[in-house]
Amino acid sequence: MSSQTAPSPKLSHGAPTRQQVFAGHRTAPFFLIPLSFCLIEVFSFAYLLGLQTGEESPNYWPLAFGLIWSVLLTGLVRILPGRASVIAYGVSYFTFLIYAVVQTGYFLLFEQMLWISDFQYASEGSDYFSVLLSYPIHWWLSVAALGGLGLWNLLRYPAQKPGLPRRVLAGLTSVLAIAAAVVLPQLTFLRDSQIRYAGSDYGRSQSREAAYENMFNTYRLYQVCGIFQTAVKDVYANVIYPVTPAYMAEQSAAGEEIDAYFQSRDPVEANQMTGLLKDKNVILVLMESMDDWMIGEHTPTLVRLMSEGINFTRFYTPGYGGIRTFNTEFCINTGSFLSSAGGYAFDYVTNAYPQSLANQLREENYSAYVYHYNDPSFYSRGVFSPAMGYEGYLSYQDFVGEDADELYDDQLLFDNAQLSSSFFREGKTLNFIITRSAHLSYKYNEVLSYWGLKKYPEYRGLTGNEETDCAYLKARLVDDMFARLLTELEERGQLENTVIIGVTDHYTYGYKDEASLLELSGVNRNLLLERTPCFIWSPGLEAQTVNKLLNTADLLPTVLNLLGVESEYSYIGHDAFDSRYEGFVPFSDGSWIRGDAAYDASEDLTFDLQGGDVEVTESFRSDSDSLVQSFVDINNQILESDYYKSAKTSRDS
């Protein structure tokens, strides 16, 4: 009996095509490609703007831009053949997804967005694991779902019909989408002019057009054009354009514009406070997260220093750039905020800072050092400190043994013999201390809170609010450091010849219960939370309360005036004791505080400093808008053009 053999299937030459491998139901439906891109915009919208159901005129423009970009990106990847199309989809989808995840995650923590050049600082504060755990579960699930959708589409990428017609159709679709992405912003600008700006320049600097063209704030830009177009404009403006010849020409013009800005202001004049603290040793303390509401019965030493010294009661520390702590640290040392127009903070490490506090005092024969618990690589302080004129950055981590608990205590600076010897060195000294104790987060099981509760167990359950308990506990630890500092100075005979400057970097944004935070701060508007403690104390200094509105940039010229240092450089801030300066607080998003009025650009709302309704004239509003726009623009140009490298201007700040 003969056996029959079934005929073998005909083998095709070469590797199987993608259509053969993922034939029929095994490939993903085509609509999942544009849908996946669109869902990135929906995800961003949900966490950056919310559904805005309570608003009279919700802002859905980002979703419109998201739809356009979904079509555009789908068309671009479908133009490519086979494997190239798959790779292009994967790269574009996950690049934009990562961008959206970082932006929404940062916004949940800080209520602001980053420029792409700030991404390396996106972990500010979030190196604490408890911060990541505080993110809502629906955010994590959304991230996981979007990531899973992208992987599914990659593994089951839709088969493409061969031929030129498909590519022509995809190309035509992309061209139309590009045109829509260019035209749609103009429609948003037209809507602005119809609603608010028709026939008037009133508030024009707060318009969508200003946000889109000037790119002075990432969040305002996103509100105009959505997450995709924000990312693309960000990359071009902050990565590509800076290497072009046109940019170089702008840098030259910037110097002339800055000169004109400074020359338009009143020249510096001596006043009754000039030289009052001349030649005294200077201890500058950056009180991490030490909010104004934390000063009181739990901080007797700080209460004493503020009541006996110069207490600045309306001092605000607005955020510029993407990093709050280093922004204030940078500003009190150099006189300028970080750029709000993007760029790594590290990009400015090669700038010249002859105008800085450390460099100005070193010309007066001071020595200058920085002291902090953190590694010198954090915020690149190990490089930035010498750049700003300090002779060194001393990290407590280099002076401890196996007992990690030592790093939780800011008093290690005095307990450690080597650190203490460096701090209390001979000659005129500038010592810059960055405290840690009041840093977020405010939970009993957070490592620093846990350590502090072993020292002061009575703070557990003190107020009935866990976050408030931990904040007061950490304020007590900061106060302990100041008490110890005074004791050490007195025992060494240096107290009479020392001035202590205390300034906070930012309000307690790590405090999650927003309603309680507003109540504790005694305000009902988020913008007003930015008021923070600032004082200058020295034995024998006449106590005084300064109620003038001041911002972070005003501190350096004020300190130099008190120390009698005649800087040849102009500063964007003002001496607090200059009677011609009325006081002003400019925010990088165009918000401002001036006189008894405040304007919040995110809400397009003007109110008084108690948070109530206030009427301002059109000229006052327009003038204030112009002031803040000029301030932000000049501040950014100072850094981007490395202005102080060649500036030898007269003292006209």
In tens, the pLDDT along 31-82 reads 999 999 999 999 999 999 985 544 455 788 899 999 999 999 999 998 998 8
Class of CATH domain 262-645: alpha beta
For residue 445, pLDDT over 50 is answered with: yes
Distance CA 16, CA 14 (A): 7
Judge contact between 321 and 338, C-beta under 8 A. yes
The pLDDT-based confidence of 363 (bands split at 50, 70, 90) is very high
Angle at 594 between CA 590 and CA 599, to 5 degrees: 40
**CA–CA distances in Å: residue 359 to residues 22, 214, 285:** 67, 33, 18
Beta strands in 200-352 (DSSP E): 281-287, 310-312, 315-316
Residue 589 has a pLDDT of: 93
For residue 279, pLDDT over 80 is answered with: yes
Greater model confidence, 335 or 209: 335
Query: Which residues, in sequence order, are bridge partners of residue 213?
Result: none
Q: What mean pLDDT, rounded, does the chain reach?
A: 88
Judge contact between 611 and 533, C-beta under 8 A. no
For residue 142, pLDDT over 60 is answered with: yes
Q: Angle 82-110/218-235 helices, nearest 10 degrees?
A: 150
Cis check: omega of the bond before 441, within 30 degrees of 0: yes
**Burial state string for 292-315 with b = 16 or more CB within 10 A and e = fewer than 16:** bbbbeebbebbeebbebbbbbbbb
**CA–CA distances in Å: residue 106 to residues 100, 124, 224, 505:** 10, 9, 19, 18
For residue 448, pLDDT over 70 is answered with: yes
For residue 460, pLDDT over 90 is answered with: yes
pLDDT tens per residue, range 558-606: 999 999 999 999 999 999 999 999 999 999 999 999 999 999 998 889 9
The three state secondary structure string of 572-619 is CCCCCCCCCCCECEECCCCCEEECCEEEECCCCEEEECCCCECCCCHH
What mean pLDDT do residues 205-218 have? 76
Residue range(s) of every CATH 3.40.720.10 domain in the chain: 262-645
Of 8-12, 56-60, 174-178, 399-403, least confident by mean pLDDT is 8-12
Distance CA 146, CA 347 (A): 33
Q: If residue 535 lies in a helix (H) or strand (E), which one and from where to where? A: strand 534-537
Distance CA 16, CA 6 (A): 23
H-helix segments, 134-281: 137-155, 164-192, 208-214, 218-235, 245-263
3-state class (DSSP) for residue 23: coil
Contacts (Cβ under 8 Å, ≥6 apart) of 401: none
Residue 344 has a pLDDT of: 65
Judge contact between 635 and 336, C-beta under 8 A. yes
Residue type present at position 176: L
Q: And the tokens for 371?
A: 């002291």
pTM of the model: 0.76
Report the sign of the C-alpha dihedral through residues 182, 188, 190, 193, in that order. Answer: negative
H-helix segments, 24-81: 32-48, 61-79
